[in-house]
A and B are shown apart, each in its own frame.
Chain A
Amino acid sequence: MANAPKNKILTEDQAVATIESGMTVGIGGWGSRRKPMSLVRALLRTDVRDLTVVSYGGPDVGLLCAAGKVRRLVYGFVSLDSIALEPHFRAARQSGSIPEPVEYDEGMLQWALYAGSLRLPFLPTRAGLGSGVMDVNSSLKTVRSPYADGEELLAVPAIRLDAAFVHLNRSDARGNAQFLGPDLYFDDLFLAACEPGRRFVSTEKIVPTEQLLTEGTFHTLKINRSMVDGVIEAPNGAHFTTCEPDYGRDEAFQKAYVDAARDADSWKAFSDRFLAGSEAEYQKQVASWRAEVAAAKEAKS
């Protein structure tokens, strides 16, 4: 067995067991699109806290805020896309319960991850200059072009991650992962900006390597196994966010999620039902919830 490749297959719970309080965790996807929700749900079940979370934020950020796990949040926005505002993130910001919010322009966030992935201290940009981002992030510094133009640019500091979670449509067992939808978002950068050891890809389906080109062209293979430490098979793992073309957003469930955030009692009922148990239990409860909704509709018509 000395020559056998690394075994990277593990469960969500095994993956999040490597996360320690105080770590910096990057979460791929965008808004309510292809989020590694099964890994986020597993993280909710741990007693990890004081995380720095880096995300193009959606319900991942909302859930982690609601669970009180976020000390520092690096974000350009938090949105559910079809529902513009994320209720838990709003509540957390309005009650001041995120001790260190770090609000960036969307492009600055890309630059921070890109700099991190290239092991550069910063990357220069104009995005952010003159805006409130400079007013509320007093540690941001500018840099002057050494060339004839002499332009002063924002030096976006690199972000290095201790852990990265992304969800892809397909992966082989070794972490060669594939996106089949319209956009990779910045998933490759989240993995590349992360220290080796806790770079996790959850996937709809683990496929044999020789089948990686049966559903998409080679252009869809943007994540190679050197960028990945662990592979989790998680069918419907992005639920309730989009995972095109495997499934779209579960808009009805997303609405139920938002409605449940209205008050403490309804949120407790929601989390008791959907978030207290394992991922398998979550998927079972979602299926039965859908059946209930369909039956209620049937009864009405």
Chain B
Amino acid sequence: MSDTVSTALADVVAVACAEAWRGDGEIFASGMGTMPMLGARLARATFEPDLMVSDGEAFFVAGDLPIGSTQKTVEGWIPFRQVFDTLWGGRRHVMMGASQIDRFGNTNIANIGPWAKPKAQLLGVRGGPGNTVNNATSFFVPKHQSSVFVPEVDMVSGVGYDRAAKLGGFIAARHDLRRVITNLAVLDFGGPGHAMRLVSVHPGVSADDVIANTGFELQVPSSVPVSRGPTDEEMAAIERIDPRGLRHRELPS
């Protein structure tokens, strides 16, 4: 084990992201952005060797491809059409961003303010609706704050547990929001009625810090563990996958 006190925040978060894919086996681990991509590749390089990861463009890649590198070993082709086929078939676990997220995991990357005339137009719903009712979905939020963790999102681009329950049937039975990883903590939906629950806090962060930066009532267990740092094997893999330290730019310690 690395010394927890001196472990960089970005390395703790990389491990937390990787942990989201533990147990997934031979499916497409799709990470949107630097940290989720690092997490997926780290999981495969260590405890989840059968995961499939992509170059973020159109290819499945083998080996520990460094982020941003073009020296890739292609092991398959995954153009957008096949991404849709794969995720509609449930053979994918995606980790995406969220500009807003509520207590039951409804997320928003589309717009801030009313949809008809937004205060800030963002990306649009993208693949969020299809992702969240078809395959496992986790979220990465680089800045945990009350303006992101809101009582109600302005546009539901990703379907949360309350809305999935209302749909019932196939979707409710398989709806699978896994984890939310932030710069402060790891959360899941293990609270009552699949409400968001605090799983662990990163070194130096208290449960109260997380509560203070969350705009809704968070399920907090009586004892909250500290997020683990990387093992020596994991640290070596992180250095291989992100030799330029892009993760520290995203999450400075």
Contact = CB atoms under 8 A, between A and B. Distances in A.
A146 to B, nearest CB: 15
Contact of B126 (A76, A130, A149, A152): A76
Given A89-B121, A183-B57, A185-B80, A130 B159 contact: yes
B117 A94 contact: yes
Interface stretch (B161-169, B208-216, B224-232, B233-241): B161-169
Given A130-B166, A136-B115, A183-B58, A105 B121 contact: no
Interface stretch (A19-27, A77-85, A259-267, A276-284): A77-85
B170 A106 contact: no
Contact of B128 (A95, A105, A125): A105
A78 B121 CA distance: 10
Interface string B141-159: 0000000000000011111
Contacts of A258: none
B218 interface: no
A130 B118 contact: no
B205 interface: no
Given A131-B158, A131-B159, A77 B121 contact: no
B251 interface: no
B121 A93 contact: yes
Contacts, number: 134
Interface residues of A, number: 41
Most chain A CB atoms below 10 A, which of B81, B118, B125: B125
Contact of A131 (B111, B119, B156, B170): B156
A110 B84 contact: yes
Contacts of A79: 123-124
Contacts of A30: 80
B105 to A, nearest CB: 12
Nearest to B58: A182
- Interface size for chain B: under 10, 10 to 19, 20 to 34, or 35 or more residues? 35 or more
A218 B115 CA distance: 45
Contacts of B124: 57, 75-79, 103
Contacts of A125: 88, 130
B159 A182 contact: no
A128 interface: yes
A107 B110 CA distance: 16
10 contacts: A103-B124, A125-B130, A126-B171, A127-B133, A131-B125, A131-B158, A131-B159, A136-B116, A149-B169, A182-B57
Interface of A: 30, 57, 75-79, 84-85, 89-90, 93-96, 103-108, 110, 125-133, 135-136, 149, 151-152, 182-186
Given A127-B127, A128-B129, A131-B129, 12 more contacts: A57-B124, A93-B117, A105-B125, A105-B128, A107-B84, A110-B81, A129-B167, A131-B157, A133-B125, A133-B129, A152-B167, A183-B58
